């Protein structure tokens, strides 16, 4: 089996005050280690406005700093947007792209999602591409087709991707924030299909090295079972990432389920 270091992300969404953000980040940073063979990579994705102060709070730790979105453009007349150069300047090294709350909630089109992912990878940062089907699509038996089409449109034109630079987050929309998690078997089936599509698009060696993580009501009590599946390489956590002890319990579960030795160069400080 190829070696894949688990990836655990905490997507804080539009939550926390400045003070809560700094306390939460410091609490998580204290519990994150990256010196053992099974230690996962861990990143937090606070709201834009707290990124600078959170960067200060976690400096020197192994915790990586992420952004929840970015502009596909370098600069210019894009009111309200935030560029990758700005994000890098405040210590961001990974970026969420295509989260369903933007893809569906804000009707962000596939072309814009693709442009953002290409910009993130072009800037040398790690892109976490979020994909997943709605309840209606699942009930119509379209889960695999939806995942495939979202992957194809976002990855079109990308031939070589450093495996540690792209993470795919499978987040079934009906499982996000609902307390309703995909069963471990259903999630594994979706992840296996996603890896197959990655193989077609990027080649089987690269596909075997890319982390495919699960998101959607992942909690300390279901994380281990999900991450024990052969194609589930970590999690993207919403609600449970807002409490340091719950988030760190999920990080611990990833460590226990670690299937792999760390690949060279995948463990970095957050800078």
Residues of the shown chain interacting with ligand 13P in the complex, contacts defined by CB under 6 A: 11, 99, 171, 176-177, 215-218, 236-240
CB of 123 within 8 A of CB of 72? no
Q: Cα(7)–Cα(182) distance, rounded to whole angstroms?
A: 19
CB of 194 to ligand 13P, least distance (A): 16
Two tokens at 170?
Answer: 């499978």
C-alpha 241, offset from chain centre: 13
Task: CB nearer to ligand 13P: give 104 or 156.
Answer: 104
CB of 74 to ligand 13P, least distance (A): 26
Q: Cα(18)–Cα(43) distance, rounded to whole angstroms?
A: 18
CB of 269 to ligand 13P, least distance (A): 23
CB of 168 to ligand 13P, least distance (A): 13
Task: CB nearer to ligand 13P: give 63 or 175.
Answer: 175
Active site residue 99: yes
Pairing of β 126-131 and β 64-67: unpaired
The H-or-E segment that residue 132 falls in is: none
Q: How far is CA 107 from CA 111, 112, 218, in A?
A: 11, 10, 25
CB of 180 to ligand 13P, least distance (A): 9
Residue whose Cβ sits closest to ligand 13P? 238
Q: How far is CA 127 from CA 55, 95, 248, 257, in A?
A: 19, 5, 22, 23
Out of 108, 133, 148, 171, pick the active-site residue: 171
Task: CB nearer to ligand 13P: give 171 or 202.
Answer: 171
Task: CB nearer to ligand 13P: give 127 or 215.
Answer: 215
- Name beta bridge partners: 134: none
Length of the chain: 271
Task: CB nearer to ligand 13P: give 69 or 206.
Answer: 69
Catalytic (active-site) positions: 99, 171
């Amino acid at each position: 089996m190829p070696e894949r270091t688990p990836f655990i992300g905490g997507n804080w969404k539009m939550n926390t005050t400045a003070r809560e953000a700094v306390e939460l980040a410091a609490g998580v940073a204290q519990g994150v280690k990256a010196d053992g063979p099974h230690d996962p990579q861990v990143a937090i994705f606070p709201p834009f406005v707290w990124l600078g102060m959170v960067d200060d709070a976690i400096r020197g730790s192994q915790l990586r700093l992420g952004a929840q979105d970015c502009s596909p453009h370098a600069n210019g007349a894009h009111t309200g947007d935030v560029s990758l150069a700005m994000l890098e300047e405040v210590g961001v090294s990974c970026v969420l792209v295509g989260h369903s709350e933007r893809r569906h909630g804000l009707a962000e089109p596939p072309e814009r999602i693709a442009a953002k992912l290409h910009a993130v990878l072009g800037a040398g940062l790690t892109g976490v591409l979020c994909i997943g089907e709605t309840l209606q699509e699942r009930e119509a038996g379209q889960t695999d087709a939806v995942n495939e089409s979202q992957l194809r449109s976002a990855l079109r034109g990308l031939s070589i991707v450093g495996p540690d630079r792209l993470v795919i987050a499978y987040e079934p929309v009906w499982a996000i924030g609902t307390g309703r998690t995909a069963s471990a078997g259903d999630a594994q089936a979706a992840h296996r299909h996603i890896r197959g599509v990655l193989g077609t698009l990027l080649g089987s060696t690269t596909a075997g090295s890319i982390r495919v993580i699960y998101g959607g009501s992942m909690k300390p009590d279901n994380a281990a079972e999900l991450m024990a599946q052969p194609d589930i390489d970590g999690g993207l956590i919403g609600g449970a990432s807002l409490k340091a002890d719950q988030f760190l319990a999920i990080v611990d579960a990833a460590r226990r389920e670690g299937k792999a030795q760390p690949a060279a160069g995948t463990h970095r400080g957050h800078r």
